[in-house]
């Protein structure tokens, strides 16, 4: 019988494990100095494997999830950040392309300097690499294997399309994991809306939505994502006034507030 590929079986993880001790050392050194986050609404996380769906908040959410979620939570990460040759172009475009033209050259250099550290971190953290080409098949296989092994997934599905002052619009195809999992096991996965608030030093877990296999595929994708975006927004707007860390890496003077109703972050500014 063909053996199911697991996360640790991939060449990506095998190569990274040689430096696992260094990653563990860095993590142990950083954690005491990184702000402590309070996890709110833990009762909303199912006992069985599920998918945590959160706002990205640039670098904050991935770090918080690695430091403060249990070891049975595995995070989707940009696959380019695991490949030494692919880090610079991806990092510059995704992190720093919105910077002022006069300083972009500095960030261009920085994108090359961070490449070795990126490969070390993302190959050794609890991650599953996500690519936007044919390698996405491996992403889904690894994700299904992780769920079957009792692990939960953490996904940040925002992409660079404005939605509101809390989240950018979600890519929807990640929800297909639930369809595949149901086909393989007959079990329905839950998606837990999660709001990360760096200014409040808290991570909020909302009421989950359960996959419905009776719906047409695209209809179910949209149903789940619409609910998740709405619930994350509701969580955020129910909290005391605070600054929201947006998906786009824009100047902090343009960061929205959770009370800025009906506004979206677009082109570095809040617009109705």
- What is the SS3 assignment for 40? strand
Answer whether residue 227 is part of any domain: yes
Answer whether residue 81 is part of any domain: no
Answer whether residue 48 is part of any domain: yes
Mention every residue, 6+ apart, whose C-beta is less than 8 A from residue 154.
51, 52, 54, 65, 69, 73, 74, 75, 76
Predicted pLDDT at 18: 61
Residue 153 has a CB neighbour count (10 Å cut-off) of: 23
- Full-prediction pTM beyond 0.85? yes
Predicted pLDDT at 262: 55
CA distance 260 to 257: 5
Judge whether residue 165 has pLDDT over 70. yes
Answer whether residue 10 is part of any domain: no
Answer whether residue 64 is part of any domain: yes
Judge whether residue 15 has pLDDT over 80. no
Answer whether residue 250 is part of any domain: yes
Report the residue count for the chain.
Answer: 272
Angstrom CA distances, 186 to 183, 213, 239, stand at 6, 10, 37
Judge whether residue 36 has pLDDT over 60. yes
Q: Are 91 and 114 in contact (CB under 8 A)?
A: yes
CA distance 90 to 97: 10
9-18, 77-86, 140-149, 249-258: which range is least confident on average? 9-18
Answer whether residue 97 is part of any domain: no
Answer whether residue 2 is part of any domain: no
DSSP 256: P
Task: Enter the tokens of residue 48.
Answer: 């069985």
Show the domain range for 267.
34-71+127-271
Judge whether residue 80 has pLDDT over 70. yes
Predicted pLDDT at 19: 78
28-42, 110-124, 254-268: which range is least confident on average? 254-268
Task: Enter the tokens of residue 66.
Answer: 């690695």
Q: Are 194 and 232 in contact (CB under 8 A)?
A: yes
CA distance 52 to 90: 24
CA distance 213 to 229: 21
Domains in the chain, number:
1
């Amino acid at each position: 019988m063909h053996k199911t590929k697991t996360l640790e079986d991939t060449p990506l993880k095998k190569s990274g494990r040689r430096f696992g001790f260094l990653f563990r050392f860095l993590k142990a050194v950083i954690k005491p100095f990184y702000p402590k986050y309070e996890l709110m609404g833990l009762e909303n996380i199912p006992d069985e494997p599920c998918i945590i769906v959160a706002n990205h908040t640039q670098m904050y959410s991935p770090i918080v999830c690695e430091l403060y979620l249990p070891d049975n939570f595995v995070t989707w990460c940009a696959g380019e950040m695991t490949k030494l040759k692919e880090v610079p172009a991806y990092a510059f475009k995704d992190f720093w392309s919105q910077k002022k033209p006069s300083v972009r050259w500095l960030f261009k250099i920085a994108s090359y300097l961070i490449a070795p550290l990126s490969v070390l971190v993302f190959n050794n953290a609890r991650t599953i690499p996500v690519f936007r080409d044919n390698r996405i098949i491996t992403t889904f296989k690894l994700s299904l294997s992780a769920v079957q092994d009792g692990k939960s997934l953490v996904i940040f599905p925002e992409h660079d399309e404005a939605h509101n002052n809390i989240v950018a619009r979600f890519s929807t195809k990640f929800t297909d994991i639930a369809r595949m999992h149901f086909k393989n096991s007959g079990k329905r996965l839950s998606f837990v809306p999660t709001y990360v608030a760096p200014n409040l030093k808290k991570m909020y877990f909302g009421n989950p939505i359960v996959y419905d296999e009776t719906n047409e595929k695209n209809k179910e994708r949209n149903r789940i994502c619409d609910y998740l975006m709405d619930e994350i927004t509701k969580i955020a707007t129910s909290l005391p006034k605070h600054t929201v860390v947006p998906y786009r890496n824009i100047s902090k003077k343009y960061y929205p507030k959770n009370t800025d109703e009906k506004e979206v972050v677009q082109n570095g500014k809040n617009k109705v």
